Amino acid sequence: MEIKRIATPLTLDVIEGLHAGEKVFLSGFIYTARDSAHKRMIETLKRGEKLPFDIVDQVIYYCGPSPAAPGRVIGACGPTTSSRMDAYAPILLSLGLKGMIGKGKRSAAVKDAMRQYKAVYLGATGGAGALLSRSVISAETVAYEDLGPEAIVRLGVKEMPLFVINDVYGNDLYDAGASQYKR
């Protein structure tokens, strides 16, 4: 299987060149955010305030990294279940978010928003947080430090191994895989 090497910020050309089922190595900067951070971001928007980082063409990783061991940039940083962010994702996609990383299926509303706003959902292997942390070359908390591991952290990543789960064409790797084995 060919591996595509992509980098942030995600451009429309890159996004339109990705297809469900492809393996990618992602490099650049991404932002971690889980449930609590997403809730705060939406509350911030409802108050008419700016988000704590420029979301346009960026990628959010649904992850709450564990503390770094001595000599390490970060602790384990595995994906969390993405469906917990489904209520928030369409709003962020409408503001220019271009990529999301997590594990598990997405709702129809999120998949529709990805097609409408031209964004992708990338899957990280659950249970492999220690291995995924090897791709992290820098980590800096940028917002909501009081949330601890659920704070928004800007990660520098190099060749983070991921799969394209949902593309801009409405394809879904989970659905495609399941249909191969139906009788």
> Using H for helix, E for strand and C for coil, what is the string for the chain?
CCEEEEECCCCHHHHHCCCCCCEEEEEEEEEECCHHHHHHHHHHHHCCCCCCCCCCCCEEECECCCCCCCCCCCCCCCECEHHHHCCCHHHHHHCCCCEEEEECCCCHHHHHHHHHHCCEEEECCCCCHHHHHHHEEEEEEEECHHHHHHCEEEEEEEEEEEEEEECCCCCEHHHHHHHHCCC
19 a catalytic residue:
no
**Catalytic residue, candidates 14, 31, 37, 38:** 38
The catalytic residue positions are: 38
